[in-house]
Amino acid sequence: MKIAKIDLDKNNMLIVDDKKYFVLHKPKDNTVKLVPANCPHRGGPLQYGVYNEAERVICPWHENKYKPCRLAKNKLPYVRVRKMCALFAVKHVKA
Protein backbone atom coordinates (compact mmCIF):
# COMPACT_ATOMS: atom_id res chain seq x y z
CA MET A 1 0.00 0.00 0.00
CA LYS A 2 1.37 3.40 -0.96
CA ILE A 3 1.05 6.36 1.33
CA ALA A 4 1.25 9.92 0.07
CA LYS A 5 1.71 12.93 2.32
CA ILE A 6 1.05 16.50 1.37
CA ASP A 7 1.96 19.62 3.29
CA LEU A 8 -1.11 21.86 3.30
CA ASP A 9 1.08 24.97 3.64
CA LYS A 10 3.00 24.14 0.44
CA ASN A 11 0.60 22.24 -1.83
CA ASN A 12 -2.96 22.81 -2.91
CA MET A 13 -3.15 20.07 -5.52
CA LEU A 14 -2.12 16.48 -6.12
CA ILE A 15 -2.55 13.96 -8.91
CA VAL A 16 -3.77 10.43 -8.20
CA ASP A 17 -3.94 8.00 -11.13
CA ASP A 18 -3.83 10.94 -13.59
CA LYS A 19 -6.80 12.61 -11.89
CA LYS A 20 -6.21 16.02 -10.31
CA TYR A 21 -7.48 16.86 -6.81
CA PHE A 22 -7.18 20.10 -4.92
CA VAL A 23 -7.22 21.03 -1.27
CA LEU A 24 -10.51 22.69 -0.47
CA HIS A 25 -9.97 24.53 2.79
CA LYS A 26 -12.98 26.04 4.54
CA PRO A 27 -11.56 28.78 6.76
CA LYS A 28 -14.79 29.15 8.74
CA ASP A 29 -14.51 25.72 10.40
CA ASN A 30 -10.90 24.97 9.37
CA THR A 31 -11.86 21.80 7.52
CA VAL A 32 -10.01 20.38 4.55
CA LYS A 33 -11.25 18.15 1.77
CA LEU A 34 -9.39 16.68 -1.20
CA VAL A 35 -11.83 17.10 -4.07
CA PRO A 36 -11.60 16.67 -7.87
CA ALA A 37 -9.97 19.73 -9.46
CA ASN A 38 -11.93 19.52 -12.71
CA CYS A 39 -14.96 21.80 -12.74
CA PRO A 40 -18.28 19.95 -13.24
CA HIS A 41 -19.21 22.42 -16.01
CA ARG A 42 -16.41 22.04 -18.58
CA GLY A 43 -13.44 20.78 -16.61
CA GLY A 44 -11.95 24.13 -15.57
CA PRO A 45 -9.10 24.16 -13.01
CA LEU A 46 -10.88 24.63 -9.68
CA GLN A 47 -7.54 24.69 -7.84
CA TYR A 48 -7.19 28.25 -9.23
CA GLY A 49 -10.71 29.20 -8.18
CA VAL A 50 -11.71 31.58 -5.43
CA TYR A 51 -13.55 30.75 -2.23
CA ASN A 52 -16.03 33.58 -1.68
CA GLU A 53 -17.78 34.93 1.43
CA ALA A 54 -20.89 32.91 0.60
CA GLU A 55 -18.74 29.80 0.96
CA ARG A 56 -18.83 28.87 -2.70
CA VAL A 57 -15.92 27.94 -4.93
CA ILE A 58 -15.89 30.13 -8.04
CA CYS A 59 -14.42 28.48 -11.14
CA PRO A 60 -11.91 30.74 -12.95
CA TRP A 61 -13.18 29.84 -16.43
CA HIS A 62 -16.90 30.72 -16.45
CA GLU A 63 -17.35 31.82 -12.83
CA ASN A 64 -19.93 29.19 -11.90
CA LYS A 65 -20.23 28.82 -8.14
CA TYR A 66 -20.21 25.48 -6.33
CA LYS A 67 -21.04 24.47 -2.80
CA PRO A 68 -18.18 22.57 -1.17
CA CYS A 69 -20.53 19.68 -0.33
CA ARG A 70 -21.26 19.22 -4.04
CA LEU A 71 -17.55 19.11 -4.89
CA ALA A 72 -16.90 16.79 -1.96
CA LYS A 73 -19.11 14.01 -3.32
CA ASN A 74 -16.02 12.46 -4.93
CA LYS A 75 -13.48 13.47 -2.31
CA LEU A 76 -10.46 11.36 -1.42
CA PRO A 77 -10.26 9.78 2.01
CA TYR A 78 -7.30 10.97 4.08
CA VAL A 79 -5.94 11.43 7.56
CA ARG A 80 -5.08 14.94 8.65
CA VAL A 81 -2.59 15.82 11.36
CA ARG A 82 -2.25 19.59 11.73
CA LYS A 83 -0.82 20.82 8.39
CA MET A 84 -0.20 17.36 6.86
CA CYS A 85 -2.58 15.03 5.02
CA ALA A 86 -1.84 11.37 4.38
CA LEU A 87 -3.64 9.32 1.73
CA PHE A 88 -3.76 5.54 1.75
CA ALA A 89 -4.27 2.83 -0.86
CA VAL A 90 -3.59 4.94 -3.92
CA LYS A 91 -1.78 3.58 -6.95
CA HIS A 92 0.11 6.59 -8.26
CA VAL A 93 0.55 9.98 -6.62
CA LYS A 94 2.29 13.20 -7.62
CA ALA A 95 2.29 16.15 -5.24
The binding site for ligand FES (CB under 6 A) comprises 39, 41-44, 59, 61-62, 64
Instruction: Closer to ligand FES by CB, 6 or 47: give it.
Output: 47
What is residue 92's DSSP assignment?
Answer: -
Instruction: Closer to ligand FES by CB, 35 or 87: give it.
Output: 35
Minimum gap (Å) between residue 36 Cβ and ligand FES:
12
Pairing of strands 13-16, 79-81: unpaired
Residues in the chain: 95
Distance between CA atoms of residues 91 and 19, nearest Å = 11
Instruction: Closer to ligand FES by CB, 47 or 78: give it.
Output: 47
